[in-house]
Amino acid sequence: MQPPPESSTDTTNADIETSITEVEQALTAIKQRHAQIEGDRQRKIELKHKLEEIRPQLAKNKLPALQAELKEIKTQLETIEVNLESQLFTVDVFKEPFWQAVRFGGLGIVVGWILKSCTS
């Protein structure tokens, strides 16, 4: 068996280097997203505690400053909820099941046509 040509080895090494770079970038993105999620979760806990502190004060005094602060906290909580939920549904999550359905659905149709033609 003869060794592979040099150009083939160079191409393979370049492909491996490219793949490693892509994996490192994906890992960095995942780490950043994880840090963001943890920060959002912590901020959500802090805002909920603050909200619980403000509600009794608001019940006693209907001060516009307290109402504005309450509204701001609710807005921030909604934003954090959206940020946390946005990670749950990404396009990549649906790609694999979609193509599996297309593949096996198409295969089922072809097998059905073959069986129908055999019985006719």
Which range, 17-21, 78-82, 104-108, has the best average confidence (pLDDT)? 17-21
In a domain, 114, yes or no: yes
Burial of 76 (0-12, 13-18, 19+ CB in 10 A): middle
Region class of 68: left (phi > 0), else alpha (psi between -120 and 50), else beta: alpha
Whether 120 and 78 share a structural domain: no
* Share of residues in the chain with pLDDT > 70 (%): 85
Range of the domain at 70: 6-89
> For the chain, how many structural domains are there in total?
2
In a domain, 27, yes or no: yes
Whether 81 and 96 share a structural domain: no
Q: What is the pLDDT of residue 87?
A: 60
Whether 82 and 98 share a structural domain: no
Lowest mean pLDDT among 11-20, 66-75, 82-91, 97-106: 82-91
Q: What is the pLDDT of residue 4?
A: 54
In a domain, 1, yes or no: no
